[in-house]
Amino acid sequence: MGAGVCFVAFSVIRASFLKYFFLNLYVVLSLFADLLRQSILRFYGVESPQYSYAYYYTDCLLTIALFVAVISLASRVFAELRLAKYVRFVAVLLLLGTAGFSYAVVAQSSERLGTTFAVELSQNLYFVGLVLTYLLWGAVLKLQETRTRLVQMILSLGLYFSAYAGSYALLNLAPKYEVVQYLAPILGCFLPVSWALTIMRHTEDSRLTPARLVAVPR
C-alpha cells in the first residue's frame, strides 16, 4: 500500500500524474480495493460469500484497469505513427471478446455464475494482457523506443502479467500447486514499487540505448 501511495505522490510531484493517468488510476483503485477487502474481511470473515464476491469482483475490476493501463502505454508508443485510435479500437474489441468468451465458458457449466465469471474473466484477461504486452514490447524494439520511463513501465507490466498468467495456468494444470496465493502478495507489491522507482529515478527526458534492451543481442 505504501508503494502505491509513493507512486501516486511522486507522479504528482514530478508532474507526471496526467501523463500516466491510467497507471495512477490502477494504483488508486487497488488501494481502494485493499481497503474494501479489509473492511469486508473484518466484518464478515474470510469464509463468507460477501468476502468472496468482494475479492473476485475487485480483482476483475483491477485486471480491467490494468488492461486499460497497457492500452494507454500502447497508445503512447504508437502515437507518433498516428495509430493510437486503432490501438484503442482493437483493445475494446479484445476486452469485449474476452468477456464474451469467459461468459460462454462459465455459462454452460457453473451454478455460481457470478463469481466464476469474474474469476474466468480475470484469468483470461491476464493472458490477453500478457500477449498484448508482448506485442507492445516487440513494437518498442522495432520502433527503437528510447524513453526510459515508458520502457521500464512496459517491462514491469510484462513481468507482472507473465507471472500471473503462468501461475493461473499451473493452477489449472495441477490444482495442488497453488502458487498464485503465495505469488499474489509479492506481485501486488512489485508493480507499484517498480513504477515508483521508475518515476523517482528517471525524468521524462531520460533515454536508453535500444540495443541494450534486447534480452539476447542479435
Which chain residues interact with other proteins by CB under 8 A?
A: 127, 130, 133-134, 137, 148, 151-152, 155-156, 158-159, 161-163, 165-166, 168-170, 172-173, 193-194, 197, 200-202, 206, 208-209, 212-217
Residue 137: which H helix or E strand, with range? helix 113-142
Q: In the complex with other proteins, which residue's Cβ is closer, 7 or 57?
A: 7
All three cell numbers of 98: 474476452
Q: What is the smallest separation between the CB atom of 84 and other proteins, expressed in angstroms?
A: 24
Q: What is the smallest separation between the CB atom of 203 and other proteins, expressed in angstroms?
A: 12
State the virtual CA torsion across 46, 48, 51, 55 in degrees, nearest 10.
80
Q: What is the smallest separation between the CB atom of 119 and other proteins, expressed in angstroms?
A: 15
Q: What is the smallest separation between the CB atom of 167 and other proteins, expressed in angstroms?
A: 8
* Dihedral over Cα of 138, 143, 148, 150: its sign: negative
Q: What is the smallest separation between the CB atom of 80 and other proteins, expressed in angstroms?
A: 21
Helix 2-13 vs helix 180-201: crossing angle, to nearest 10: 20
Q: In the complex with other proteins, which residue's Cβ is closer, 85 or 207?
A: 207
Q: In the complex with other proteins, which residue's Cβ is closer, 82 or 176?
A: 176
- Residue 95 φ then ψ, to 5°: -65, -45
Q: Give the chain's end-to-end CA distance (angstroms, integer).
A: 40
Q: Which residues of 124-139 are buried (b: 16+ CB within 10 A; e: fewer)?
A: bbbbbbbebbeebbeb
Q: In the complex with other proteins, which residue's Cβ is closer, 9 or 35?
A: 9
**Contact residues for 165 (Cβ-Cβ < 8 A; gap 6+):** 123, 126, 127, 129, 130
Q: In the complex with other proteins, which residue's Cβ is closer, 57 or 164?
A: 164
Q: What is the smallest separation between the CB atom of 206 and other proteins, expressed in angstroms?
A: 7
Residue 147 DSSP SS3: strand
Q: In the complex with other proteins, which residue's Cβ is closer, 64 or 136?
A: 136
